[in-house]
Homo-oligomer: A and B are copies of this chain.
């Protein structure tokens, strides 16, 4: 089974996680920049990206989104690409993994019970005022991580934050990492230039240069980040059990915050898990970034969507790629003995039922 999980580093954390109880927490948040046309594929229109995080977690827990009639999707050659929430739903249901939601600052709130960490969505990073209180959000995350880790052997943390790769680029740039053209995105073309320009403008507006905030993680988030980043970093830091950060290059920004805000953090107890679509994205390089941050090991799962007849096939040509912790949810399910082919088939079933 474990053959389905590809490792891009040297950590042997997986043997600690096999057949352990896992708990999946999805942090949802918004950044004002998701409304910039072309920046993200996580919504049918720029305005609808505000609904995507709530719709994603409603889909996982309730079987369909309540806050809008149809789930956010990207159309490729007339075929809609389903949200990665369907992969997460298939994985946690097959492996019977409890799924909890934390609001780190979603513009639209889901119609289900969720952990409240932070109310306010992130602002426009172009103004250099992205988040008001990232240290407070981090501190509440620490408290939540402490509590949740009493309830499980393995905490898997995913996220749904439309345009979150741009804010990750912002934080990593501000903190001095070499991320030029290395950050992934939810569209095949990945508008690197637009993203870099936004970050550059934001840092300038905040009065900082690239790399100036290398040891000031919360200032980096406050200037050009989003509220998901300190929330997830805090939860990981508060956890007393192994943590999987379920996401792509956005989780690199989380790792960067952790390594500065909690210098004693044991990265041997942390995995980053994503989909093969991010890990082998030709227009980005998550492993190049991870090697710069505390030697974090990236793991990836390939759901073999080229075998799929549905819009899931669009993932293989660069649409969507990852989100709602899809890669980490698959990894957690596989570690509990689920076959990746069964995950793909159940994902297809869920897509069919949604139509």
Chain A 107-143 per-residue mask, 1 if CB under 8 angstroms from chain B, else 0:
0010111111100000000000000000000001101
Taking a contact as CB atoms under 8 Å apart, the answer to whether B112 and A143 are in contact is yes
Chain B residue at smallest Cβ distance from A136 = B111
The docked-state distance in angstroms from the alpha carbon of A99 to that of B147 is: 7
- A116 contact from B23, B116, B141, Cβ within 8 A: B116
Taking a contact as CB atoms under 8 Å apart, the answer to whether A112 and B100 are in contact is no
**Contact A143 B98, CB 8 Å, known A114-B116, A116-B116, A152-B151:** no
A1 to B: closest C-beta gap in Å: 22
Copies in the complex: 2
Taking a contact as CB atoms under 8 Å apart, the answer to whether A140 and B116 are in contact is no
Any B CB within 8 A of the CB of A331: no
Chain B residue at smallest Cβ distance from A104 = B113
Taking a contact as CB atoms under 8 Å apart, the answer to whether B140 and A113 are in contact is yes
Taking a contact as CB atoms under 8 Å apart, the answer to whether A140 and B112 are in contact is yes
Any B CB within 8 A of the CB of A102: yes
Any B CB within 8 A of the CB of A103: yes
Taking a contact as CB atoms under 8 Å apart, the answer to whether B151 and A113 are in contact is no
On chain B, the residues within 8 Å of A61 by CB distance are 143, 147
On chain B, the residues within 8 Å of A114 by CB distance are 115-116
Chain A 197-214 per-residue mask, 1 if CB under 8 angstroms from chain B, else 0:
000000000000000000
Taking a contact as CB atoms under 8 Å apart, the answer to whether B147 and A100 are in contact is yes
Question: Lowest 9 CB-CB distances: which A-B pairs, in order?
Answer: A113-B144, A98-B150, A151-B151, A116-B116, A113-B140, A113-B117, A113-B115, A112-B143, A98-B151
Query: Besides A113-B116, A114-B115, A115-B115, 4 other CB < 8 A contacts?
Result: A23-B151, A61-B143, A102-B113, A111-B140
Chain A residues at the B interface, C-beta cutoff of 8 Å: 23, 61-62, 96, 98-100, 102-103, 109, 111-117, 140-141, 143-144, 147, 150-152
